[in-house]
Chains A and B, each alone.
Chain A
Amino acid sequence: MLQKRLSFILILPTALILSLAPLYLFGEGKKGEIGSLKELIDRYDSSRCKECHGEIYAQWEKSHHARPLMGLDGWIFMSLYLKEGVLSVKSPGQATKANFPCAKCHLPQLFKATDSVAAELAAAVLRDDKKTVSRLNIGCLVCHQEKAVVHGRPEKTAIYGTREVKDHEGLPVKKSPLLKDPLFCGQCHGLGPNLEFENPVQCATLYGSYLHAYLPNGGSRTCQDCHMPGKDHTSLPNFNDRAGTSAHLREALPLEVETLGYVFQFEPGKYHPLAVVKTRITNKAGHRIPDG
């Protein structure tokens, strides 16, 4: 009896210490770092902009930017990388930000959070928690704050737009010339391998193609001109819209076909019928297609 009681008493403080441990070990992290996955979601939640920017919100919601950790049909692609290969972990608790070099472009706000948040994210990914993972996205504040300034750091107490709106509800809007520049998109749409990571990764390289294959040949439109006509935030193509994507691509990549059928005499009396098919595909986009 005594023994039982003793062990109970011993267990209690140990359990308490263990349950507090994460807080002491990683919870606080560097000053100002986001300490939980919930806080990360809330801090960058776009729904607070919905009330007044309803149309833009509805467009954005349909875009791939609203589900950057989900592949087609809601597949959480990071699960593959956390299970196998150089980024894999034995258990989600081992994951740190170093397991998420992909977040540089797919979820840049993760680098504002502690390693324990990366572990929480790994757990959500590995238990295929679509409800949580779908709330982690490239939302209004990722573009209009986080990525809107490259010289110096964006202010946390401002939103950035194409012009100044001093009396803006919530946070004042400052002008950022970067928003209209292709470089703004290029921060994530890639130049080549990302060598700054312990495990270098390469994904999108489309901005490189824009710089090297489009501009030097006289191309003069920006990413925003072509992908955000009338400030539309849908950012087509939307690969979940099969018919729409096909139609878009048909227009972007005109195909001309010429045919000719004839018979030629190879040597006297020997006839060779031949069909000749000539194809010509033009690319009207501002970069190569496909990009890899």
Chain B
Amino acid sequence: MVLDVTATAPDGKKLFEASKFYMPQRDTSIQPFRPKEETFEIPIPPGTKEVNVAVRLTYQPRPGNVYSVHSIDRKVAISP
């Protein structure tokens, strides 16, 4: 299970990219009754008024087979 977060400027320029891996091998799988919480702090170039944030959760139970689980997009206004 992989969580990908990317942020892009209104002109499409990529500002940020990070992934979290939830895997049984390292025992970082998602456990019942124990939600996985993450916080991403994304520095934005001065003057940027808005960024697009894309959050994707995908599952690859067998190598090469990726299933989309969540795909959430948000526009984030940078208020002074």
Contact = CB atoms under 8 A, between A and B. Distances in A.
A278 B37 contact: yes
Interface in B50-80: 50-51, 53, 55, 57, 59, 61-62, 65, 67-70, 72, 74, 76-80
A239 B30 CA distance: 19
Contact of A289 (B1, B16, B65): B1
Contacts of B12: none
A114 B74 CA distance: 61
A242 B22 CA distance: 20
B38 interface: yes
A283 B41 contact: no
Contacts of A214: 32-33
A292 B63 CA distance: 12
Nearest to A288: B29
Report whether over half of chain B's contact residues are helix, strand or loop; otherwise say mixed: strand
Interface residues of B, number: 49
Interface string A228-247: 00000000000100100110
Given A257-B74, A273-B48, A281-B57, A262 B79 contact: yes
Nearest to A212: B31
Given A239-B65, A246-B69, A275 B42 contact: yes
B31 A277 contact: no
A198 to B, nearest CB: 24
A245 B67 contact: yes
Q: In the complex, which range does the number of interface residues on chain A fall in?
A: 35 or more
Contact of B76 (A218, A219, A260): A260
Contacts of B29: 209, 288-292
B70 A255 contact: yes
A276 interface: yes
Contact of A272 (B5, B23, B43, B57): B43
A227 B31 CA distance: 18
A274 interface: yes
A242 B31 contact: no
Contacts of B47: 273
Given A205-B24, A245-B67, A253-B57, A274 B5 contact: no
Nearest to B60: A290
Nearest to B59: A249
A64 to B, nearest CB: 11
A279 interface: yes
Given A246-B67, A288-B24, A274 B41 contact: yes
Interface of B: 1, 3, 5, 7, 16, 22-25, 29-48, 50-51, 53, 55, 57, 59, 61-62, 65, 67-70, 72, 74, 76-80
Given A72-B62, A257-B55, A273-B78, 16 more contacts: A213-B34, A218-B33, A239-B61, A250-B69, A255-B69, A273-B45, A275-B53, A275-B78, A277-B39, A278-B38, A280-B36, A281-B3, A281-B57, A285-B32, A289-B1, A292-B23
24 contacts: A71-B62, A72-B62, A213-B32, A239-B61, A239-B67, A246-B68, A246-B69, A249-B59, A249-B67, A261-B51, A274-B43, A275-B7, A275-B41, A276-B39, A278-B39, A279-B38, A280-B37, A281-B30, A281-B36, A283-B31, A288-B29, A288-B30, A290-B29, A292-B24
Minimum-distance CB pairs A-B, first 4: A292-B24, A273-B44, A288-B29, A261-B78
